[in-house]
Structures are given as C-alpha cells and as structure tokens.
C-alpha cells in the first residue's frame, strides 16, 4: 500500500532523487538540496503552526510505500500566492484594430503580464516516480490535496490554481522562452527556472510589462502557448475531472497553461464526506475505491486509497484492517472520504 503524509526532514535525500528524475520545468520541486531543505522546513512550520486563514503557508506531502518505507512521490499546496513575491502570469487577451476607411476590423491576440500580490491558492510540486505510476497512484497523489483542503477550507483562498508545466524538451529547451524571455534575460531556460525559485525580483527588473503580440512570435512559440508537457497531460485531465478550467493565463517562462477552479466547487472538496470508523474487518470489502484520510489535526494527516463501505444513514464507514493500520485508525475515529474517480458517488 501507499500512504500520503506531511513531509519530514528525513525525506530530504529521497526528494533530491525525485527532483532529479523530474527534470527541468518543475519549478516547485527544485534540483537544489538547500532549496529543498528550505521547502521542507517551511512545510513543517506551516503544519506545526497551522493557521486558520491563508497567509502564504506551504504544505508538502509525500507518498510512501508502506512495505519498503521508500518515498515515491510528492505534491504540495500554497495557501495563498503573492505577497512580497508576486504571482506572475501572461493573460491571453484580444485587442481590436479597426479602419473605417478600408472597412477592416481585426482582433489580435496579445499576452499581457499579470502581477498579483493578493493571489489565489496554488497546488503544485506534483511528481511521482515513473516506476510507481498506474493503478490510480498518480491520481491519489494529485487529488489528496483537495481532501486536505476540504478538511481545512478556512486555511486556503477561495480560488485555486495550478500552473501546468509547458512544452520543454529533455535538454531543457523551451520554444516559448527562446522566442521571448531569452531576449530580455539573456540566460537559458533551466537557469531562469532555477532563479525563479531563489527569488522572483529579477522578473520585475527585466520582464517588459507592455503587451506581447502573439502573431509576431515564431510559429514554434505560438504553437506551444497553453499546451501541457507530455508528462503533465494526465494531471490536466484529472484536474478537469475535478472542475478546473483553463483560465486564459499561461506561465511567463514556458507558456504552460494555468487552470483554475473555485475552492468549494472542486469535486473532492464538494463531494467529500466526514464520518466515523464504525467497524474494522479482516474480511474483504467490496466497494469502489475511495480516497480516505484522517480528520482533525493537520499534523496528523494521513491518507490512502482503499475500498470502504459507507453507511448511507449516518456516514460511518467499515474499513479493511490494512487501511486502518496504515492510517492508525481505531473504532470511533473521524475520517474524510470521497470516491477516487469522478464517476462514482459517495
């Protein structure tokens, strides 16, 4: 089985290995030990000093193989982006040029730089070791964050966004960056991606704030605007199943899509239910697969996927003993649960 739990400092070495596997473009899981250590420290602090209102807290979760104790994936949430380091994106808009003299009216698509200091909640840092993909593991790792949000909605902004990795090849080449950002920054994409983790100040210093006419960009750059990296396509589908839609915004470096959903309209948040453990059994449980987590203190959060039986009258659940052991649950303990797949109903 796999369990998802808050990150600890003991996970640093394995997260380094996962970051190396992830390659270029996964900005929030940097290939830098010192930055990863800071990310872990911030998550530990955010969990231990859990806030009941969003203030830029960062939560990082890891997926652990319960048999080998090996961490195989990670995913994260930032309760609110912006603040001292703004959230940057390109908004896709249209401007109109019109000439009455020759009876021509033309809509021209542009990219307008957006700088938000009071931004939304953001989910990111999603990566699963390729050796463990399949069997719903990636979906669990991605969607379990919404189960955490459902248990603590007051701690997160009302709008949730996800910046999807854009088109980048295995050598770190980004057609969009080469056509646009490289001319103003004079550095290659991997270096710009790394610097954006260290500090975003250089973006304000060097990025032009005037509109970019999309049709003036090379076709290779135009073709990747709003397109997801091949390794992120399934993640986008999962988020679309949750209610996320393209926000007509793209990343300023690789032009990957920014997708969004109102917090309380996310399927997992809206459909998840709270109940108590009524029975723990060693007999097989026949039901659809659920995401199930502990309920209550953020520091005690644990989650996994499992077949469970739900009592429709009071919401209580019957659990396999293996699931109860992984989540450290006893009779009467509170849990939160939702079907893993959107087509199922709780």
Sign of CA dihedral 72, 78, 84, 85: positive
Residues 6+ apart with CB under 8 A from 29: 15, 18, 19, 22, 36, 74, 125, 127
Active site residues: 229
Residues 6+ apart with CB under 8 A from 294: 300, 301, 302, 303, 327, 328, 329, 333, 334, 335, 336
Spatial distance between the Cα atoms of 253 and 28, rounded to a whole number of angstroms: 14
Three-state SS sequence of 116-130? EEECCEEEEEEEECH
Spatial distance between the Cα atoms of 27 and 194, rounded to a whole number of angstroms: 7
Which helix or strand (DSSP H or E) is residue 154 part of? none
Spatial distance between the Cα atoms of 197 and 163, rounded to a whole number of angstroms: 14
Spatial distance between the Cα atoms of 139 and 238, rounded to a whole number of angstroms: 7
28 and 77 Cβ atoms separated by less than 8 Å:
no
The strand pairing partners of 114, in sequence order, are 89
């Amino acid at each position: 089985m796999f369990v998802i739990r808050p990150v600890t400092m003991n996970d640093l070495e394995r997260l380094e290995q996962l970051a190396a596997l992830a390659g270029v473009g996964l900005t929030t899981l940097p290939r830098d030990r010192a930055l990863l250590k800071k990310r872990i420290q911030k998550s530990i602090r955010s969990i231990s000093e859990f806030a009941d209102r969003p203030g830029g807290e960062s939560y990082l979760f890891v997926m652990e193989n319960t048999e080998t104790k090996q961490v195989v994936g990670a995913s994260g949430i930032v309760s609110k982006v912006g603040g001292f380091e703004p959230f940057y994106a390109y908004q896709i808009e249209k401007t109109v040029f019109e000439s009455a003299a020759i009876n021509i009216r033309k809509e021209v698509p542009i990219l307008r730089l957006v700088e938000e200091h009071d931004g939304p909640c953001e989910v990111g840092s999603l990566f699963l070791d390729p050796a463990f993909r399949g069997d719903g593991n990636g979906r669990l790792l991605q969607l379990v964050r919404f189960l955490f949000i459902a248990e603590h909605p007051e701690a997160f902004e009302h709008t949730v966004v996800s910046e999807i990795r854009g088109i980048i090849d295995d050598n770190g080449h980004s057609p969009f960056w080469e056509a646009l950002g490289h001319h103003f920054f004079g550095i290659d994409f991997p270096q710009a991606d790394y610097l954006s983790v260290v500090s975003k100040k250089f973006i304000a210093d060097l990025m032009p704030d005037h509109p970019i006419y999309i049709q003036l960009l090379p076709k290779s750059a135009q073709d990747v605007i709003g397109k997801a990296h091949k390794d992120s396509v399934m993640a986008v589908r999962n988020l679309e199943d949750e209610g996320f839609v393209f926000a007509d915004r793209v990343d300023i470096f690789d032009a990957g899509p920014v997708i969004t959903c109102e917090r309380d309209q996310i399927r997992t948040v809206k459909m998840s239910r709270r109940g108590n453990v009524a029975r723990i059994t060693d007999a097989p449980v026949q039901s659809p697969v659920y995401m199930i987590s502990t309920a209550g203190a953020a520091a005690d959060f644990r989650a996994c996927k499992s077949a469970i039986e739900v009592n429709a009258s009071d919401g209580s659940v019957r659990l396999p003993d293996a699931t109860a052991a992984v989540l450290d649950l006893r009779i009467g303990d509170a849990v939160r649960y939702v079907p893993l797949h959107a087509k199922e109903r709780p």
